[in-house]
């Protein structure tokens, strides 16, 4: 059985050389980060922020649009905040977009990204994982980022039996123990790829895994049980209303407050629902056009869409036929679709009965 950290790293890196995923924010295995130019850390950082709690498939088009529109961190720092928030619409977790702008401006002000894990941690919105990822992948520094994929691989490799999230310190120590002395970026991405394609959450493909001979989780016969999950808490259900005000084929959109849920985004006016409680209601205001259900991290929301005459709050009239370009977050894009579909159905002429 292979057990030494160096042997595990060598085996994994050899596998990565043959099986690395081709991604728009990634360099080929074995590439020295120092040869990739001054904008390379920006691309790594941007992709890592976008990938937080979002799939690779979802991020791809956004990454392409952002790097085309704002190819450098200086360009992003100079961008209008509303335009960035609009371009981010649909990726969710909108505090990431606000932190993205703040971080870009801080980096531009200092003339570039710091090249150490500690220096990166000082930037706005950059936590332990992102700092380690940019240090390792963007600069080739000795750092071990631990995302959900790497957590899963390390927990299974060493059969770490403590439930999450308490197991995280032991998982981090295990990942650091097997890290090689060089190729930090390749090692991190190899662990990520192994977790994403082989050591998957359900039905891991152990027969294809290069680390199977060294895997204590596989030896138990139930590798999929690692990492152990704490019992899930039921998410509360919140209820609210969104108001659809249409005049001259234009819809009234407001700008949400900069702090709080979906901060700074264009949206339909609503009744003040939040993660902590239901909205204030508004029954009897107008015709109910439909309802959407949307899941947030800590709660689910049922949002009733109501025809209204409200034009309260800071806002603007937006062409109803061009709502796709308004940059509405997913929740309000769903609500707008429900309202539009209801109105189109109501206005559709009924077919004449047959003679």
Q: Which residues are catalytic?
A: 48
Q: Is 11 exposed, middle or buried (0-12, 13-18, 19+ CB in 10 A)?
A: middle
Distance of alpha carbon 150 from alpha carbon 154, whole angstroms: 6
Q: Looking at the chain, which runs of residues are DSSP E strands?
A: 237-244, 246-247, 250-255, 266-267, 288-295, 300-307, 315-319
Q: Which residue has the tokens 């959450």?
A: 201
Q: Which residue has the tokens 């061009």?
A: 322
Three-state secondary-structure class, residue 164: coil
DSSP-assigned beta bridge partners for residue 292: 303
Q: Are strands 315-319 and 237-244 parallel, antiparallel or unpaired?
A: unpaired
The most distant pair of C-alpha atoms in the chain lies apart, rounded to whole Å, by: 85
Distance of alpha carbon 319 from alpha carbon 341, whole angstroms: 16
C-alpha separations of 213 from 2, 70, 158, 247 in Å = 6, 46, 12, 67
Whether the Cβ atoms of residue 317 and residue 250 lie closer than 8 Å to each other = yes
Distance of alpha carbon 96 from alpha carbon 58, whole angstroms: 15
DSSP-assigned beta bridge partners for residue 294: 301
Whether the Cβ atoms of residue 33 and residue 239 lie closer than 8 Å to each other = no
How many CB atoms neighbour CB 282 within 10 A?
Answer: 19
Query: For residue 91, which of 65, 128, 124 has the smallest C-alpha distance?
Result: 65
The one-character DSSP state at 34 is: G
């Amino acid at each position: 059985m292979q057990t030494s950290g160096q042997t595990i790293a060598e085996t994994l890196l050899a596998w990565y050389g043959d099986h690395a995923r081709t991604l728009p924010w990634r360099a080929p295995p074995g590439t020295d980060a120092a040869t990739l130019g001054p904008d390379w850390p920006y691309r790594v950082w941007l992709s890592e922020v976008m990938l937080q709690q979002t799939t690779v498939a979802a991020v791809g088009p956004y990454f392409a649009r952002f790097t085309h529109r704002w190819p450098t961190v200086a360009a992003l720092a100079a961008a209008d905040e509303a335009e960035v928030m609009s371009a981010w619409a649909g990726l969710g977790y909108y505090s990431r977009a606000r932190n993205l702008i703040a971080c870009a401006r801080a980096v531009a002000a200092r003339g570039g990204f710091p090249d150490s894990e500690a220096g990166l941690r000082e930037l706005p919105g950059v936590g332990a994982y992102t700092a380690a990822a940019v240090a390792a992948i963007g600069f080739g520094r000795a750092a071990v980022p631990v995302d959900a994929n790497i957590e899963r691989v390390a927990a299974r490799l060493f059969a770490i039996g403590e439930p999450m999230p308490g197991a995280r310190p032991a998982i981090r120590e295990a990942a650091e123990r097997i890290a090689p002395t060089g190729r930090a970026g390749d090692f991190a991405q190899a662990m990520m790829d192994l977790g994403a394609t082989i050591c998957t959450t359900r039905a891991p493909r152990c027969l294809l895994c290069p680390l199977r001979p060294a895997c204590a989780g596989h030896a138990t016969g139930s590798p999929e049980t690692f990492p152990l999950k704490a019992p899930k808490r039921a998410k509360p259900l919140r209820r609210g209303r969104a108001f659809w005000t249409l005049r001259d084929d234009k819809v009234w959109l407001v700008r949400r407050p900069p702090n709080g849920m979906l901060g700074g985004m264009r949206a339909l006016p609503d009744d003040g629902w939040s993660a902590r409680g239901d909205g204030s209601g508004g029954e009897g205001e107008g015709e109910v056009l439909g309802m959407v259900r949307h899941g947030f991290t800590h709660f689910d929301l049922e949002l009733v869409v109501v025809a209204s005459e409200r034009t309260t709050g800071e806002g603007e009239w937006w062409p109803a036929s061009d709502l796709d370009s308004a940059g509405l977050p997913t929740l309000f894009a769903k609500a707008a679709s429900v309202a539009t579909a209801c109105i189109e159905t109501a206005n559709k002429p009924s077919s004449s009965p047959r003679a």
